[in-house]
Structure 1
Amino acid sequence: MPFSRREDSPSEKTILELLSRSTPDTVRDLPRKDDVLYFQGDEALFLYAVSSGEVLTLLESPYGDPVLWEVLDHYDAVGGFAILLGCPYPATCRALTPARVFGYSRQKVWDLLRNDPGLFESLAKGIGDRLQSFLSRLVYSQQNLEDRLLLGLLYLYRKKIRSAPDRSSPVVLEITRSFLARLSFTTVESTIRVTKKWESEGWLDFPERGLIRLLDIRHFLVKTAHLSMHESPQNPRGREKWDARLNPV
């Protein structure tokens, strides 16, 4: 779930900073891609804060491939929904890159919540943002292919600039087109076809295997402005955010 600093409150502490006031109950290293932190349906023993690397959550299904829910990095925590409600983990969590996570028990999380309103606000906001994000993807899963791929790239772009905010040069995403296809509810073949077209139009390129470089991010932002459910450029607050992205200082 996205526990990021708010764009309008750059000094707001991250979930990891808030939790670091207490000693973690466990530290888990995930040295290889696809290493499992926990499986969907496992008992929720810990809220995990990502210290380094990236993890992803997957909704398992008996009817086909798992659905990629979200990518989480060192600004994020995972397992909060299950810890707060006392239910099993609703999705499987695996490493996307080598990662380290700090685990905090349910009792410790509740003790911290009682003494720190900021932690409660961050957890609640993160759950809300996560549900909004997934609802947005479900709504647009029936839209045309290019819109879905645009939204997938924009989602990854936002996470990238959160940890590396320099926008003076093209943004490089460390992902494969296979991963982008899963994120966008489509096939690898369709993703290759569309991204090759965008490459010929000068929007992006592929400097090496496993990398996608966004050459013209303004184009992506303009093309997706009408698609965002929870940051619409049509309302004043949303318009300010879009203007800031299109005209960075």
Structure 2
Amino acid sequence: MPRLVRNALTAARVRAASEPGVLVDGNGLMLRVQHSGAKSWVQRITIHGKRRDIGLGAASLVSLSDARETAARNRAIARNGGDPRRPRVPSFAVAERVAFEQAACDWKGGTASPTARDWQARMETYVLPRIGDLPVDQVGTAAIDDVLRPLALAGKHPTARAVGTHIATVLRYAALREFRPNDNPVSVVLANLPKRTKAIRHHAALHFSEVGAALRRIDSGTSFAKLAVRLTVLTAARQAEIRRATPDQFDLEDA
């Protein structure tokens, strides 16, 4: 059985390498030397069952110890089923800044517009203090519910919807950059928030003995509004019926 090569290179050997070819350090890490003399680090690694070569940077910029550290981190990610080639997932706050700048391009006035000010105020007040530090791929229904439910319970349903829209915009940007799946957890949370309970407010009712005096207060002019009110009182018709009535529905000769 061949001996496993590990940490075969030294910093001095890396500096001295000049012959075109590949020098193996071990654990999949290699130094590739080009005919031009350029040297770069390459890691051979198995990702999701397939062997891949990943560039780790030029040897003039990345030291041997840094290359080994990066290679070890990549192996750990691959062992856990991840893909080290994916960009590092940013926090929600970082993704929010980029998404905000992109969205502002469509607003009249850009980042100085009233829409932008509303976005920033809501994010700074309700969202970032709660989920700003979370990696954007870990912002799921539970985290979003922690933001929106207190608003709904306080009766601020329009604010909850507006904040939810902002969060969804950030998550769409993150999905576009492949930082997270293209799902829509905001819609799930909004659909399950406590519903707004509207207080029923009835208009004050007139006693039948007061109807005549009320009608007299309405000028006997011919404006449509005044005539509509009088017709509603005299016929007890529904408001929609009065508003949508057409001339052919009235028989003025036999009235």
Considering the TM-score relative to the shorter chain, is it more than 0.5? no
Structure with the largest fraction of helix: 2
**What TM-score, normalized to structure 2?**
0.26
TM-score scaled to structure 1, two decimals?
Answer: 0.27
Tell me: higher relative CO, structure 1 or 2? Use CA pairs within 8 A at least 6 residues apart.
1
Larger radius of gyration: 2
Give the structure with the larger strand fraction. Answer: 1
